[in-house]
Structure 1
Amino acid sequence: MDGDRRGGLGLLALVYGCGAALCAVGALWPMTARTPVALLVVLAVSGAALSAGLWLGRDRLPMAAVHAALALLALLTGLLAWQSVTAVGVVGLGPALVALGVLAGHVLPAAHARAHVAGAVAVVSAGALSAAPSGFLAPWLTAVVTALVLTEAQVRQTGALRRAACTDPLTGLANRRAWEDGADRLLAAAGRSGEPLTVALLDLDGFKAVNDTEGHAAGDALLRALASGWSGELRRSDLLGRLGGDEFALCLPGSDRAATADLLGRLRAVSAGPWSAGTATAHPGETLHEVLARADADLYREKAARPGSRTRVDRPAPGPQGRRQSSEVRCEPAIGPICSIPPSTA
C-alpha cells in the first residue's frame, strides 16, 4: 500500500493547493460585502502551507497522514459552510465534497473511504444548516447525493482494479506481486512476534507433458483443481499464490518445518497431480528473497534426489528476487504498487 500512501499524499497536496488558490480568489474578489475575507486569507495561507508540507513529505509521512489530511479537509470545508452567507457559497463547496470522496475511494480501503465521506457530509451539512442561507437546501442535497454516489463508484472501480491487478485470473489465487507483498508483511510480523514462519515452493511434475499430450485446456484444469484443493486445507492466515506457469508458493506464519511437512502431506492427499516442494523457515533478520532462495535450493535438491532425475543442483544462481528468472511480464502502476490481498483471501 506504499504507493497508495505516497500517491494519496500527492493528490491531497494538489487538493489543498487548489483550495488555497480558490480561497485567495474569494478573498481578493469577495462575492458580497459580508464575505468572510479574513477567514479566506487564513485558509489560503494555511492551505498553501499544508499543500507544500504534504508534497514534500509524501515519501516519509505515514498512512495516518492521509486520514488526518482528509479529516482536516472535511473540518475546513465545514467551517467555510458555516461562514457562508449565500446559497451559492454553500453549494459551491459541493465539489470539495466530491473531491474528498473520490480521493478517499481511490487510495483507501472501501470501509475507510465510506467513513470519511460520511463524516465529511455530516460535518459540512452541519455547517451549512447552521448558516442556513436562503434557498440552499435543495441544491445542497443534490451536491451531497452526487458526492456519495461518485465516492461509491470510485470505491467499487478501485476495488475491481486492485483485484484484477493482484489476482491470478486462472486460479483465483494471489498473483506473484500480491503474494510477495503479503509474504513481506507476514515475514515482518513474524520478526516482531518471534513466531516461526515457513515458505514453501511447489513445482508441478510433468506439467509440460500434460500440456503437450492432453492440451492446454487440460493443463489449465489441473492448475485450477490443485489451487481449489489446496485452498481447502489452509488456515485463514496462510497465503497461497501462483508465481507463474506451474509454480506456486505458500507463506505459513506460525509454522515450523515439522508443521509445514504435515501440511504438505495433506496437500498431496488432495492433489490432482504430482508435484515437488522446497521449504525454508525464516531466520531472524532474513529477507523474503533470502528465504525464497533457500526454499528454491531445497526444491532442486528434492528433484535431484529422485531416481532417474536429470535435474542439476549446480544450476545458475536465482535471479535478483531470489527466484529463477521467467518470462512473466509484470506491469507497474503509475503511482506504485496497489496490491494488498490479505492472507485470508488466499
Structure 2
Amino acid sequence: MGRSDARGPRLYATRGHLACALGLMAALVLGGGLWPFSPESPVGLWFAVAALLTALAGAVLVLPTRRWTMPGALAVGLLGAGALLASCRTPEGLVVLAIGVMTSAQYAAYAFRTRVAALLVAEAIAAITLGMVLAPVPFHVLTWLVVVVMTVASTSLLGHVTHWLRRHATTDDLTGALTRGALLERLDARLRDARRAGSPLAVVSADVDDFKAVNDTHGHLAGDDVLVALVASWRGPAAGRALVGRVGGDEFVVVLPGRDADAAARWVAGARARCSTPWSAGIAQARPDDTVRDLLARADAALYAAKRGRPGGRGPHAVPGVPHPGH
C-alpha cells in the first residue's frame, strides 16, 4: 500500500484559521473604538465586542474539538457584529460593518459544510437586516438590498466552488470511493473517536484477486467495471458507517467503526456473498496505542497472508457485461 501516514489534504478551515480570522476582526473592531466613525459612537460597546472576539479566538484554540466549536464561535461573533451595526451612528459606518458581516458569511461558506454554512449565512443576513433597521441613522433601502444580494450571491458561488473542489479532492472519479488522502485523514479522526469513546474499530485491507488477468483478458474498461461493481457491493445494507477508500489500482481499505475483528469478518463474508468478483481481505482491529500507520500495516500483513494461503484462486471473474465462461 505504500507509505501510510495520516496527513491528508486540509479540506476545511482549521481552528488556527478561525482563531486568526477572529483575532483580525477583534483588531479592526478595537481600531473602530479607538478611532470612531462618529464622536457619538458608543466606544464602550466597540471595546466590549473586541474583547468578545479576542475571547472567542482563544476559546477556539483551547476548547476540545467538537462539531459545534468553530461554527458556534463564529455565530457568537456575528451576534457581536450585529450589535455594532445596531449602534452605528453614520451611514458609512453601516456600510463598512455590513461588509464586515458579509465577509464573515463568506468565510462560513468556505470553512464549513453546506448545512452549517447555510445557517451561518442566514444569521449574517439577519444580523445585517436587524442591525440596519435598529441603527439610529437613516439608510436607503437599496443599500440594504445591495449588501444582502452580494452576501447571498458571493456565499452561494463560493460554497458551490469549494464543495465541487472538495468532492473531487476526496472522491475517486471511477468508483466513488474516497481518495487515499481523504481516507487516511478520516481514518485518523475515526481512530481518535474510537479511542476516546472506548469503542472498537476494524480496518479491512482488500484487493481484487488476479486483477491483471481481467485487464489482459477483457480489457481495461472491463477491469474498471469490476472495480465499480465491487465498491458498489461494499455499500450494501450492512455497510452502516463504513468508509471505503481506494488506495491503489485495485487496492482498497474499508474502515468499520464500531466493529471488532469478528464483526469485520462477518462483514467481509456478507460482502463477498453480494459480489461475484473474487477478492482477498486482511482484517486488523485497532489497539489503544495504534497509529494509522500501525493499523494499516497489520491489515496489509493480514491481506498478504490471506493471498499466500489462497489455493489457486476462487474461480474466474464475473465481468459486468461480459458472459461468464460456460454460460
On whether the aligned pair clears a TM of 0.5, the verdict is yes
Alignment of 1:53-132 (within 5 A): 54=57, 62=64, 66-132=70-136
Check 1:40–1:230 CA distance in 2 against 1; reply closer, same or farther (3 A cut). Answer: closer
Deviation of 1:158 after TM superposition, in Å, equals 1.9
Question: Which residue identity does 2:71 align to in structure 1?
Answer: H
1:208 aligned to 2:218? no
Question: Which residue identity does 1:204 align to in structure 2?
Answer: V
- Given candidates 35, 41, 46, the residue that maps to 1:36 is 41
Deviation of 1:186 after TM superposition, in Å, equals 2.6
Question: Which residue identity does 1:8 align to in structure 2?
Answer: L
1:184 aligned to 2:194? no
1:8 aligned to 2:21? no
The percent of aligned pairs where both chains have the same amino acid is 35
Report if the CA contact (8 A) 1:173-1:240 is conserved. Answer: yes
Q: Which residue in the other structure is 1:166 paired with? A: 170
Deviation of 1:25 after TM superposition, in Å, equals 7.6
Alignment of 1:152-301 (within 5 A): 152-301=156-305
Larger mean CA deviation between 275-284 and 98-107 belongs to 275-284
CA distance in 2, matches of 1:227, 1:77: 48
Check 1:15–1:85 CA distance in 2 against 1; reply closer, same or farther (3 A cut). Answer: closer
CA distance in 2, matches of 1:41, 1:281: 54
Question: Which residue identity does 2:198 align to in structure 1?
Answer: G
Per-residue CA distance 1:252-296 (angstroms, 9 max, x = gap): 123233322222122222324221111112233323322221111
Deviation of 1:20 after TM superposition, in Å, equals 4.0
1:17 aligned to 2:27? yes
Check 1:232–1:297 CA distance in 2 against 1; reply closer, same or farther (3 A cut). Answer: same
What's the RMSD between the two structures over aligned residues? 3.0
CA distance in 1, matches of 2:257, 2:206: 17
Report if the CA contact (8 A) 1:26-1:37 is conserved. Answer: no
Could you tell me which runs of 5 or more consecutive residues in structure 1 were left unpaired when the two chains were aligned: 310-346
CA distance in 1, matches of 2:184, 2:261: 20
Per-residue CA distance 1:89-139 (angstroms, 9 max, x = gap): 323322112111011111122222222222233234223212252233331
Check 1:198–1:73 CA distance in 2 against 1; reply closer, same or farther (3 A cut). Answer: closer
Question: Which residue identity does 1:300 align to in structure 2?
Answer: Y
Question: Which residue identity does 2:106 align to in structure 1?
Answer: V
Report if the CA contact (8 A) 2:206-2:282 is conserved. Answer: yes
Q: Which residue in the other structure is 1:329 paired with? A: none
Check 1:8–1:59 CA distance in 2 against 1; reply closer, same or farther (3 A cut). Answer: same
Question: Which residue identity does 1:11 align to in structure 2?
Answer: A
CA distance in 1, matches of 2:224, 2:154: 38
SS of aligned partner of 2:207: strand
Could you tell me which runs of 5 or more consecutive residues in structure 2 were left unpaired when the two chains were aligned: 1-9, 314-327
TM-score normalized by the length of structure 2: 0.79
Per-residue CA distance 1:174-210 (angstroms, 9 max, x = gap): 1212222222333333333333322111111111222
